[in-house]
Amino acid sequence: MSNLDTMEPASLGDLAFESKVRASDVPETGLRVYGVDRTDGLTPDAKYTSKDLSRYKVLRPGMFAYNPMRLNIGSIAACTDKHAVGLVSPDYVVFGCKPDALDPAFLGYAIKGPEWRQWATAAGVGSVRVRIYFRELAKMPMTVPPLADQKAIAAVLGALDDKIELNRRMNATLEAMARALFDNWIEAHANDIEESSVQQLIDDRVMLIGDGYRAKNSEFSDDGFPFVRAGNLKVDGLDLAGAEVLSARSTAAAGHKIGKVDDVAFTSKGTVGRITRVSPKTGPFVYSPQICFWRSIARDMLNPNVLYRWMSSADFTRQVTAVSTQTDMAPYVSLQDQKKMIIQLPPPNAQSEIAKQLEPIDARIAANTEQSRTLATLRDTLLPKLLSGELSMSDAMPAL
């Protein structure tokens, strides 16, 4: 049974209001300046700020902010109860929800739904310089359920997100435990790592270091493997959702640039050093040029789990920083420079020792990650159906 009979057509302007309150209008001082990011939403610190913040707009929990030049590509963010009152650029548009008409948490999910994306995309057609101010955004048609249903929908989706966030925090704690265990192990085996026995393991006998496949636009199709770019690298693994697909023919030509389980992939340009490990749950994919990967070939010489932990260590970060080149556009570390790096590790039998100690921690991290992916899939499946009224709350509950 759907909930379509309780859905009411409206425009965003019927449900929301623009706020032009500025820092000079409020008694609060020392407010943080937020930025708005397409992927991360509201970020704790803006990239660029003026010395004079008096014209900056005030953003309170329950309000939204966006760059009017970039709305069409998704740069909009919600200020939730988890955020403190802050400021955003005076060039941004800030708006809030009318208390008796629109629930902010519901709207926070609505901006991720297809109705919002389709309208924003259509509104941005015609010019890359188009500006969508609130008077234009207010025309956006919205179909919303009664306020009580909005709150119930937001509560259900929020519970899924809360569990995903809890898993993320648990994994952060587990990763910290693993790093401490690894660092202590390295320190305990310091005497085993003698200068004379330091081995440059980066060669074709022990390990492969590779970069991505340089694809042309004509090589994308719908019958090959996902083409993973830097943005697909997440701290909890590779996100293949929304990735472009490299044609089957080009996939075959990619050779060793097809990802394998236990590869350690990292960004080699821009934000250099964002690391993730390829898990058994990740399907086949092809690395793009923004990504380099390290792969243990002789596992009796270099344990893959130890490789991952070392690449997550300060030693790897220090060496990668040392060999990175600052180009006109962004930092970059080449394949040739990576091959100059040296892994200083105890002998293989000691590597097996620490790998065994890390196994239960890694298993818990993997289980939490898999549960979060399942929850995210459920949330993303329910989201458009609940927002459109195709699915009622009573119908959705058995799926939770």
pTM to 2 decimals?
0.81
| 117 bridge partner residues | none
Please give the Cα distance from 1 to 362 (Å, whole number).
Answer: 43
Nearest to 338 by CA among 390, 300, 297, 293: 293
The answer for residues whose C-beta is within 8 angstroms of residue 165's C-beta and 6 or more apart is none
State how far the Cα of 57 lies from the Cα of 87, in Å rounded to an integer: 5
Determine the pLDDT at residue 194. Answer: 56
Residue pLDDT, tens place only, 316-328: 888 888 888 776 6
Q: Do 211 and 387 contact (CB within 8 A), yes or no?
A: no
Question: To the nearest 5 percent, what fractions of the chain are helix, strand and coil?
Answer: 40, 20, 40
Contact of 209 with 257, CB cutoff 8 Å: no
pLDDT in tens, 45-88: 777 788 899 999 999 999 999 988 876 666 789 999 989 999 99
pLDDT of residue 398: 57
Walk me through the domains of the chain, giving residue ranges and CATH numbers. Answer: 8-144 (3.90.220.20), 145-188+346-400 (1.10.287.1120), 194-217+229-240+257-345 (3.90.220.20)
Angle at which helix 304-311 crosses helix 348-388, to 10 degrees, equals 70
What pLDDT shows up at residue 198? 43
CA distances from 268 to 47, 54, 321, 324, 378 (A): 22, 39, 11, 9, 33
Give residue 133's region: left, alpha or beta (phi > 0; psi -120 to 50).
beta
What stretches in the chain show pLDDT beneath 50? 1-2, 4, 195-199
